[in-house]
Amino acid sequence: MQTDSSFTFVLFGGTGDLSMRKILPALYEAHRAGGMLADSGKIVAVARHIADRAAYIDWVNEHVKPHVSKNGVDETAWASFLDRIEFVKIDLGNPEDFTLLRDALSGRPGIRVFYLATGPSLFVPICRALASVGLNENSRIVLEKPLGYDLKSSNAINDAVGEIFAEEQIYRIDHYLGKEPVQNLLALRFGNVLFEPLWRREWVESIQITIAEELGVEARGDFYDNTGALRDMVQNHLLQLLSIVAMEPPHSMDSDSVRDEKLRVLRALKPIDPRDIGKVAVRGQYHAGVIRGSAVPAYATEPGVKPDSNTETFVAVKVEIENWRWAGVPFFLRTGKRLADRVAEIVVNFRAVPHSALGASALRGGANRLVIRLQPNETIRLYCLAKQPGEGMNLASVHLDLAFDRFFREGQMEAYQRLLLDVINGRLALFVRRDEQEAAWRWVEPILNEWATANKPPKPYAAGTWGPAAASAMLAQHGTCWLEEEN
């Protein structure tokens, strides 16, 4: 993926955790690879508590280097990468400071990218300040999640940003859409005749999508206690992954064709009756427990969290899609903090054969499944039954490992690297369109409202487990279980 396109990448929140851990490391990897970034491309960091460029470079050396290159830092590449970085000291609360940014960007060739790695409360003020100095032309704006607290606040932000930037200038980022296995899922489905006939209700029994974390809220207690897992993970990451799994084949891979099909899935989600939320949605909150031999505290004792907090750190929800392809197939979404392992995966459970001359094992559910692992190790495995060596017809589960690193010499590209290159090169397919976001909020809101008005505490679960027992019971009602329970 090479480009000759000149650009200026302006990073708001230039000293923040996201910039240090993800954005600058991703830009460094693209620079180190050679040819992915135009030689003339520059990175302009914006912050208020750093004195000048020299101090910022010192900050980058200290805080970014630990997060780049699993195989170590190429010092020559690192030095030339630092040459790309400039710095402008701005107080985001003072719109007049944006004249300093305008002057710094004056006369530069190519596209301008403004990446807002800040809290959502700053999105609108930053956009208005950019417009006030004429920087909203020939530019693209990248918005991090969360984009709002509910449908109303999300619309308010989108309305205000939309007055300044056209929809094709707005890149709402969801980094899960940039992960290699998600891209390979599209390739598997739409590039091979093998899977398409099976990718429907006649042959799929159920689908699970899990994003589990071992970490707690860390230093984000204040933010998380006003957000919760449903807003933080389900409304965006999990519903976006569901839409990729369930979408119809687009007529091409251009941005609107792909996003049109995702939108159709989100609009086809079966609305949840508030009276049924207790049956199809489980909320939990972690208590003290042990993870990998180390004791960890309860959520309610984390810094920044209210001691009597009812904020959920775990959500499991059953989703149904009311269309011809998926009617009657349950999708089980799950996310949580302080769970037993760090894993993100999509599990497609195919139906058992209708009749088997090979014994009962061939009739059990889950004998045939596709597992798309997004993290920590990115793989795709197809599970099927095979005869065990030896006497008799004894079947065992085996898997075909789609190990792409064995076929392709180049290493896998990290999600943020891919998405940042897409922004620079003007590719919108992997970014969330406004109508997608609205459809996701509209489906989630009945759950949010019911949990807010019911005033019932989340179900407790010990840190280091897989969440409340009610999440397992919900699947048991459908004759299935979470993947780790079967294993």
C-alpha count within 13 angstroms, C-beta hemisphere, residue 135: 26
Q: Which residue in this structure is represented by tokens 């589990």?
A: 212
Residues 6+ apart with CB under 8 A from 280: 272, 317, 318, 474
DSSP code of 21?
A: I
Beta strands 281-287 and 314-319 are antiparallel
- Binding site per annotation, positions for NADP(+): 48, 91-92, 145
How far is residue 336's CA from residue 338's CA, in Å, rounded to a whole number? 7
Give burial (CB, 10 Å; 0-12/13-18/19+) of 23. buried
Of 137, 125, 112, nearest to 44 by C-alpha is 112
What six digits make up the tokens of 118? 């800040």
| Structure tokens belonging to residue 24 | 């600058």
Whether residue 118 contacts residue 411, with contact meaning beta carbons closer than 8 Å, is answered with no
Strands 139-143, 111-116: pairing kind: parallel
- 3-class state of residue 236 by DSSP: helix
Residue 377 burial (10 A CB sphere; 0-12, 13-18, 19+):
exposed
- Interacting residues of 62 by C-beta distance below 8 A, sequence separation 6+: none
Q: What pairs with residue 331 in β-bridges?
A: 207, 319
Binding residues: 48, 91-92, 145, 175, 179, 213, 232, 337
Q: Omega of the bond prior to 303 within 30 degrees of 0, cis?
A: no
The span from the CA of 299 to the CA of 68, in Å, is 31
Instruction: Determine the number of helices (DSSP H) and then strands (DSSP E) in the chain.
Output: 17, 17
Tell me, yes or no, if 237 is annotated catalytic: yes
DSSP state for residue 391 in the 8-state scheme: S
Which letter does DSSP use for residue 339 in this model?
B
Strands (E), 213-359: 281-287, 289-291, 294-296, 314-319, 331-336, 343-350
Rounded distance between C-alpha atoms, residue 241 and residue 314, angstroms:
18
Find out whether 186 and 266 touch, Cβ atoms under 8 Å. Answer: no
| Residue 390: HSE in the Cβ half-sphere, 13 Å Cα cutoff | 4
**Which single residue is written with the structure tokens 């090979």?**
358
Which one is catalytic: 31, 49, 63, 237? 237
Catalytic residues: 237
